[in-house]
A and B are shown apart, each in its own frame.
Chain A
Amino acid sequence: MLISLAEIKQISWNGIWKQNSSLVQILGMCPLLAVTTTLMNGVMLSLATLLVMALSNFFVACLRNFIPYEIRIPVFILIAAALVTVVDLGMNAYMHDMYNILGIFIPLIITNCLVLARIEAFAAKNSPLASALDGAMMGVGMVWTLGLLGGLRELIGSGTFLGGIDLVVPGLSPIHLLPEDYPGFLVAILPPGAFIGLGCLVAWKNWIEARAAERENRRPAEPVMAGGCH
């Protein structure tokens, strides 16, 4: 039942890079378009999704032997939706300030097909611990991707960095990386900007992968290549 170190490594690597939800699986586009207008928005929604995915994967993996194959999808959605509601109510009651910022995004988590995709692809076939880790690591992958995309859109669109951080950590204020009178670039803030930005990130990831593959192929001929990349 316990989980081996190699398994942890593989699940983490898959979630964070190799099967990255936004860059490789291209799942969860709706929240991606809607919230990555700033770095903080992207990161906060990803963190909430991380929590829901870890919990729903865990519960489904625990109950997987009791769920008949034919009705697995409605049961999976029932479990995930119930957990989203629990997180929603719990945050509203005990972390109200945080809820005011994230509140509108939380019900949206259930529309993120990534949640169902990981339940179906992973949690329905694996142990609870490994499934919870898979959900969490997919969430980590989402955190950095949406954070990066949100940060880029925010910087290009409105010239700030960490806008809205004062809502999460009172006392801190956003940094104006570009001059105060930067006119802003509207396309970056609107949804098309998210698609263009995502396209660039996917290209960037594929470029890194291609370069790594090339290096792999050449290795016998040029063993000194390692560490020699710029």
Chain B
Amino acid sequence: MIAAKEPTAPGMAARTAAILFLFVVAFTAALAIVYVATKPGIDAAAAEEKMRAINEVLPKDLYDNDLLADTLKIPATPELGLDDESTIYRARLGGEPSALVLETVAPDGYAGKIRMLVAVRANGELAGVRVTQHKETPGLGDYIEPKKDKNKERPWITQFNGLSLDKVPASGWKVKKDGGRFDFVAGATVTPRAMVKAVHKTLQYAVANRDRLFATK
């Protein structure tokens, strides 16, 4: 009786370990249930968001196919700054290729990678560029997002619209500070420099591989 009232040290340890284990099992199970319950909602929201992001870079009158269905998986592509496989969305109008939407990464932003969506029309012109993910300094480098750009009439990122390799020579794909044609905000040059470089590379890649990318099943 007395031994039972005064548990030994290993006994105590085993008891607390068992209680901790029960708590872990209970809360892990609860999390698993919540995860399963919220998964459909999260997937639907992610697909909707993807479509919204694509529609920002690609005018709706440029395609009539289901973009989320007409995709092409490409392996890791250093030209696009991607060290993982990515998806290319192929826009067609009346069955004819009209534009490619590529995921691309500027690896050398001020605070790590800047992920972007770039839409390139079949004639080699940029239809639009949008940043999908970045960690640039809030209030300083984040003008690459049109929502946070102080210039609401002509956000910085719209400079890319309509440009092509024919219209802008290789020396022009730099910020003005480096002798190129792209504006930047004083105090935050690293961010636009990285993005201009990445967009240029993406455009080169898209133009060079256009036919292959559209033809691949």
| Cα of A157 to Cα of B140 in the assembled complex, Å | 10
How many residues of chain A are within 8 Å of chain B by beta carbon? 31
Render B7-49 as a binary contact track against A, CB cut-off 8 A, 1 for contact.
0000000011001100110010011001100111110010011
| Cα of A96 to Cα of B20 in the assembled complex, Å | 34
A135 to chain B, nearest CB (A): 18
Interface on chain A toward B: helix, strand, loop, or mixed SS?
Answer: helix
Residues facing A in B44-65 (CB within 8 A) are 45, 48-49
| Cα of A184 to Cα of B19 in the assembled complex, Å | 55
Residues facing B in A72-112 (CB within 8 A) are 74-75, 78-79, 82, 85-86, 89-90, 92-94, 96, 100
B41: contacting residue among A78, A94, A189, CB under 8 A: A94
| Interface presence of B179 (CB below 8 A) | no
| Interface presence of A186 (CB below 8 A) | yes
| B43 closest partner in A (C-beta) | A93
Question: Inside 8 A of B148's CB, which chain A residues have their CB?
Answer: 164
Given contacts A70-B16, A96-B49, are A89 and B38 in contact (CB under 8 A)?
Answer: yes
Contact A92 B147 (CB under 8 A): no
Central interface residue in B45, B137, B139, by most chain A CB within 10 Å: B139
| Interface presence of A169 (CB below 8 A) | no
Contact B38 A158 (CB under 8 A): no
| Interface presence of B169 (CB below 8 A) | no
A42 to chain B, nearest CB (A): 12
| Cα of A100 to Cα of B16 in the assembled complex, Å | 40
Question: Inside 8 A of A82's CB, which chain B residues have their CB?
Answer: 27, 30-31
| Cα of A92 to Cα of B147 in the assembled complex, Å | 21
Question: Inside 8 A of B34's CB, which chain A residues have their CB?
Answer: 85-86, 89-90
Question: Inside 8 A of A6's CB, which chain B residues have their CB?
Answer: none
Contact A71 B16 (CB under 8 A): yes
Question: Inside 8 A of B41's CB, which chain A residues have their CB?
Answer: 92-94
Contact A37 B138 (CB under 8 A): yes
| Interface presence of B187 (CB below 8 A) | yes
Question: Inside 8 A of A94's CB, which chain B residues have their CB?
Answer: 38, 41
B8 to chain A, nearest CB (A): 15
Given contacts A186-B187, A189-B140, are A75 and B23 in contact (CB under 8 A)?
Answer: yes
| Cα of A74 to Cα of B16 in the assembled complex, Å | 11
| Cα of A157 to Cα of B42 in the assembled complex, Å | 36
Contact B24 A78 (CB under 8 A): yes
| B152 closest partner in A (C-beta) | A173
| A66 closest partner in B (C-beta) | B19
11 pairs of residues in contact across A and B, judged by CB atoms under 8 Å: A38-B139, A41-B138, A68-B16, A75-B23, A78-B27, A82-B27, A82-B31, A86-B34, A93-B39, A94-B41, A157-B139
Q: Which B residues are within 8 Å of any A CB, using their own CB?
A: 15-16, 19-20, 23-24, 27, 30-31, 34-35, 38-42, 45, 48-49, 137-140, 147-148, 187
Q: A78-B27, A89-B34, A96-B45 are in contact. List 18 more A-B contacts (CB 8 A).
A: A37-B139, A38-B138, A38-B139, A66-B19, A68-B16, A68-B19, A70-B16, A71-B16, A75-B23, A79-B27, A82-B27, A82-B30, A82-B31, A85-B31, A86-B30, A93-B39, A184-B139, A186-B187
